[in-house]
Every structure is written in structure tokens, then in C-alpha cells.
Structure 1
Amino acid sequence: MATTSSSSDEAKKKEEGKKKKQALGWIEWLRGWFNLIYEMLFQRIMASHLQNPMPLPPVNDLTCIVTGSTSGIGREIARQLAESGAHVIMAVRNPKAAYELIQKWQNEWSGMGLPLNIEVMELDLLSLDSVVRFANAWNARLGPLHVLINNAGIFSIGEPQKFSKDGYEEHMQVNHLAPALLSVLLLQSLIKGSPSRIVNVNSTIHHVGFVDPEDMNVVCRGRKYTSLVGYSSSKLAQVMFSSVLHKRLPAETGISVLCVSPGIVQTNVARDLPKIVQTGYRLIPYFIFNAQEGSRSSLFAATDPQVSEYCELLKSDDWPVCAFISQDCRPTNPSEEAHNVQTSYEVWEKTLQMIGLPSDAVERLIEGDEVPCRYGAEEGN
């Protein structure tokens, strides 16, 4: 009888595997596109109560790392935090451009108060070795980190599929894998800065995303790759990973994990659009936010005193997803697929495997232990 029962269980598992979801259902897909179009058409009305620029609470005691802060939303986030008194670290691929920006900002700020407290550290999200080197350099300071803003991202519209030197699809690596690795490796610094926050700049486009944990690179199982598939799936993966990280961090760590939507924003992504689409993109400025308007949800998530309470409330209620702040700086609900707890845990495990960390990395780092990573080993060479 035991053998029969075992065979029956195996048959059930095989059957479940065959029925495994391969894509969004058409109703989910339509609902996702409705959310996206609705946000584009009405985001300015929904956010009409917000000031621009957004006034910030006192942030003089905050140390903030902002990735991708030489252009677009990231540049506005870094500048406004610095002008409000925060110590800002611009984590960027092009340090020269960052230093030029800082010089410009310091000149403009001259006579308005103390010099801006900004520094630059090199970080290339297309290299997981670079992420580990950055984290090691920061952690070696033994100082607190209060806010990590994972802002850097790519959306190579219309481009063919590309892979990083680490072997991962570029959207997935830059938008999800590298920020995930950075967030985990900086946990001990974030604990020192408690109460602290990890703010992931996400996108409403995650509503049309689908993640297959067994095919994060979108190379098999008959799935056709497009830049939209790459981008939307990377953003959904980020929400799923953030939701599990949110649950894995005990309340006593004092770390809040949340995602934000900046809205539909006029940024450098337009440079990858076809010429005719670029023209249309510029013809509808009323609907599309500028970078300063797009920075408001991230700044709100990074500084509002009630955000930490909201995140803890979700954790105590055992809500299946992390906090998600919309472009109008109000809590909103991620996509229906983001609520798929089983897939979220599969994405969590697969992500840790891909970024070279053991499955118990978070728990060990919380305990103060050192955790080996497959990347960054050549640093000592």
C-alpha cells in the first residue's frame, strides 16, 4: 500500500508540473494593460495634491545610497536628498559624470547653506563582481546605512535579447538580480542604521509581467522574448523577491522593504524608442511626468515617518506582498501575479542561486555572520 501511495503522490506532482502556469491569463493580461493605460492618462490628476518639488522632513541624520543617480529620477532623488541635508552616496557606473554633477550642484547651492554632503562610489549593475566589490567597500566602513534606493534600471525598447558577462538577460540582471544582491549584502549596514529602508524603484508595467523561476533568462519553454517581456518580468521578479525579503526580516532588524512606482516618466528610456514613437512621446507632456515629479514617490518612501509603521502593519497582518507605493505617494496593491506566494518563494530561491548566495544568507547576515558569495572573489587579487 505504501508503494501505491508513493506512486500516486509522484503522479500528482507530475500532473501539477504539467499544469504549471506558463503565462498570464488573458483576463490578467487585459487588467494589467488597463492599469498601465489608466496610470498614464490619469497620473497627473491622481497626484495633483502633491507639491513639486516635494518638501521633505528633516533628513540631516540620514545616510542614503542611490543607484543610477547621474540621470533621470535617480539624479533628482540624489539632489533633493542632499539639498535637504542627507549624506548621499551616488552609486554609479560613470563616476566622472557624477563628479561633474556634484560640482554643478555645489555651485548652484553656494551661499544657501552648508556644502552638499555627497560622494561617489563606482557600481556597475551589469557586473555582479562590481556589486560585491561595492558592498564590501561600503561595509568596511562599519558605519550605518539608513536608506538604500535601488533606482538604476534599464528598458532597452525594441532591442534584441542581450546577456551580461555573468550570463543573465540584461533586464533581469540590472533591474532585479543586481539590486537583490546589493540589498542582501548591505543588510548588516542597514541594521546598524535601523530604522532603515530598502526602496526599490519599480513600475506599473510589472502588472503585465510573468516570471517563470525555471526560465528567468527567457530562453526556453517556447516563450518569445521581447524587450517588454524582459522588462516587465524583471520588475515583477523584483516585487516578488522584495515580498519574501520583507517577510524574512524580523521586526527587530528595523528594516522596511518596499517598492514604488514613479509613474510614467520622461527619462532617457526614450532614446531607445523608434523615431516616430519618440515624437509621440514628446507630444503628450501633460500626461507624462518629468523626472522631478517622478522622484516624489521614492522620496516619500525613503523619508516619510509613517512608512515604517505601514510596512510593519503589513508584516503583522501576514499580507502576502511587500508595501507598494504608487506615483501619487499612496499605498496601492501590486499585480495579481505578485500575490502568487508559491512563485514568489521559487523566485526567491532561484534568485539567491543566481546571485551566488546560500539559501540561508539573510538569516546568517542578521546573526552577524560572514556569508560567502560566488562573485567578487577576484577582489583580493
Structure 2
Amino acid sequence: MGEKKKEGLGWMEWLRGWMYIVYEMLFQRIMASHLQSPLHLPPVNHLTCIVTGSTSGIGREIARQLAESGAHVVMAVRNPKAAHDLIQNWQNERTGVSLPLNIEVMELDLLSFDSVVRFADAWNATPRPLHVLINNAGIFSIGEPQKFSKDGNEEHIQVNHLAPALLSVLLLPSLIRGSPSRIVNVNSVMHYVGFVDTEDMNVVSGKRKYTSLIGYTSSKLAQEPGGFGLQVMFSSVLHKRLPAEAGISVVCVSPGIVQTNVARDLPKIVQAAYHLIPYFIFSAQEGSRSAIFSATDPQVPEYCELLKADEWLACAYISQDCRPTNPSEEAHNIETSHEVWEKTLEMVGLPADAVERLIEGEEVTCKYGACKG
């Protein structure tokens, strides 16, 4: 008889996950006490960096600090006017600095796969290399009813995992031009209590009652190097599928527990708790450090290659104190990770061999448009 398919986290896994989250909140500031804020950066004048969701919170800090350190930053945002206003404010604050910030704005709506494909096509059509893609944009609509994008996906799963996964794959030609280059996925400590059911990623079957917490934690598990659990699993398979000669590193990062716009969706009592314990919770500037570190530190690609050579199950995961750590136990599940990979490519309309074909410079046609290598 075949082994019964796992349908959720065991209570011990769930308890361990929550204990880890509480521990992280209480001690993250102590663990990261060796870090400067803002983070001291190596020379980045040669880097071109795309940062999604860069008009607020952690993304805004990432974009600003990279730009002020000399990088060419592309703010990939849903609201271009807000981005242009921010850039103007940043320029105005730089009194006495002759060189303007090297920032451009491009429209990107992660709730629309068509928008993702248009963005990738527009960028790939230029000869410019891409050195760093930072998938920062994310949502966590606590307490909200289940919502679906026009593409038919639960919103957390689309914004936190599917759209960044599609963007990462479609931008591979430009990342190869910029090699050595990096994909940095901003994940969440909440993936430790996430579970991925590859047969019900949109949580519509009725097997699990939908809550915004399930949508968020599951999305982060997949993404994590994607929701956020999905992100991790997808990233791990992508990391393995990219040949060393492509020169692309894949990293997932935890920003820690941060006071950002996510808190605006929290219940009033939880918002009150956020304000009562400011010592424990990072500012957006502090929360941006792990992503900026992963995007710029010269040792990160070496670490990624070491993991690949050792056939490590998960991709590189950098914690809020800018040190390598392990993602959740569930993120190491090889079988589920490959199921997540296959299901994700299917849901975003890409062929199973999209990565291999794009690396070879071939054209890949997806359901939402064409992307040429």
C-alpha cells in the first residue's frame, strides 16, 4: 500500500513553528545587534537592481539604500505616481549631493499575469543586463474574506508566489546577461507554520477552511526560495535547475518581524500590541538588511554554489541577522517541492521546460504572452 498523503502539519510541527516565530520576535534584535542600520554596503555602482513593491515598507528602504549607494534601481510598482513622488522627495533630501539618484519606474501589477509578462518583455527587449531581482512585494490581508485575482487565483498565492515565480523565470535571459546575478525572494518567518497542498493551492476544495493566515503562510512556504512556503520550495527547485555556468544565485531571506504596512490589515487588538512592544519589532530599515545583504554581499554566490555542490535540499536562506539558516522542515520535502514546481509552471502558463529553453536562448510561449531569450 502507498504511503498516505500528508494533509497538514502535525501538531508538533505546528507547535515548533509557532515557538520559532515567538522566539524570533523576542530575540531578533539581540541576534541582529552586530548589524549597522542602515547596512554598510560594498561598492554597488555596477549593479542594476529591480525591486518589486518598492513604494512602502521594506521595499522602499531597499530601493532607497541601493540607489543612494550608487546602484541603478528599477522600482517595479503598481502605482508609478507614488514611486515618482518618492524619488522626488529623496532627491530633495540630498542637499549638497551633485549626482542625482539613478532610479527609474516601471509599472508592475502582480495581481495580473498579463502585467508580469508585459514587464518582463519590456525589460528583456532592452540590451541592458539585470544583476539583481528582488521579489519583495507581498500581501497579508488578515481577517479578510477569500479573494481571487482576475487570473482566478487566491490573491495571497498569486502575489506572494505565482507572480514572482513567473517574473523570475521570464527575466532569466536578462539575469544571464548580468551574470553573476541574483534572485532574492523576501520571505517570511510565517512560512514555518505554512503547509502546501499542491492539489489545492488556492484553498478551494473545502478540505481546509480558508483563513487569511492559511493563504499567507502557505504562499510563503512555496516561495521561499515563494505563498511564502510555496516560494521557498519553488526557489529550491529553481536553484537546482540553473546550471553553474548561468551564474545566477537564488536566495530566500527573512526580514524578521517588521512594522510595515502589513500591520494596517491586522485586527485592532494586534495593532495595539505592535505599538506596545516596539523594542522587539524591527523598523522597515532594519527589516531591509537581510535582503540588501543577500543582494550585495560577495560571499552569497559562493554559499549558493556550495549548497548546490553538496546537493542540499533547500536553496540558500538568510535570516534577519544576515546569517545563513535553515528554512522550515516542510521546505525540505523534495517530493512536494517538485510538485510545487510543476503545479506553479502550469498555473502561470509556462511549459515544463521553460527554464532550460530560456537558458539556451530559445523563445518560450506562455499562456499570457511570449518571452524571447
TM over 0.5: yes
Equivalent position of 1:370 in the other structure: 363
Structure 2: which 5+ residue stretches go unaligned? Answer: 220-227
| In structure 2, C-alpha distance between the alignment counterparts of 1:63 and 1:269, rounded to whole Å | 27
More deviation, 111-120/170-179: 111-120
Checking the alignment, whether the CA contact within 8 Å between 1:128 and 1:376 is kept in structure 2 is: no
Question: 1:145 is aligned with what amino acid?
Answer: L
Equivalent position of 2:9 in the other structure: 24
1:195 is aligned, of 171, 175, 180, to: 180
Q: How far off is 1:267 after superposition?
A: 0.3
Equivalent position of 1:126 in the other structure: 111
2:90 is aligned, of 97, 105, 108, to: 105
More deviation, 111-120/298-307: 111-120
| In structure 1, C-alpha distance between the alignment counterparts of 2:271 and 2:189, rounded to whole Å | 20
Instruction: Please say if 1:297 is aligned against 2:290.
Output: yes
Runs of 4+ in 1 over 6 A off after TM superposition: none
Give runs of aligned pairs for residues 234-249 of structure 1, distance below 5 A: 234=219, 235-249=228-242
Equivalent position of 1:9 in the other structure: none
| In structure 1, C-alpha distance between the alignment counterparts of 2:270 and 2:299, rounded to whole Å | 40
More deviation, 102-111/245-254: 102-111
1:158 is aligned, of 121, 143, 147, to: 143
- 3-state SS in 1 of match to 2:366: coil
- 3-state SS in 2 of match to 1:177: helix
Question: 1:331 is aligned with what amino acid?
Answer: P
Equivalent position of 2:339 in the other structure: 346
Which of structures 1 and 2 has the bigger CA Rg?
1
- 3-state SS in 2 of match to 1:372: strand
Q: How far off is 1:281 after superposition?
A: 1.1
Give runs of aligned pairs for residues 15-54 of structure 1, distance below 5 A: 15-16=2-3, 19-54=4-39
1:145 is aligned, of 112, 126, 130, to: 130
Give runs of aligned pairs for residues 195-344 of structure 1, distance below 5 A: 195-234=180-219, 235-344=228-337
Checking the alignment, whether the CA contact within 8 Å between 1:130 and 1:376 is kept in structure 2 is: no
Deviations 1:134-192 (CA, angstroms, capped at 9, x unpaired): 00000011210000000000000111111000000000000000000000000010000
Equivalent position of 2:167 in the other structure: 182
RMSD of aligned Cα (Å): 1.0
Question: 1:97 is aligned with what amino acid?
Answer: A
Question: 1:281 is aligned with what amino acid?
Answer: Y
Name the TM-score, length of structure 1 as normaliser. 0.94
- 3-state SS in 2 of match to 1:60: coil
Equivalent position of 1:7 in the other structure: none
Kindly, what percent of the aligned residue pairs are identical? 82
Question: 1:218 is aligned with what amino acid?
Answer: V
Q: How far off is 1:113 after superposition?
A: 4.2
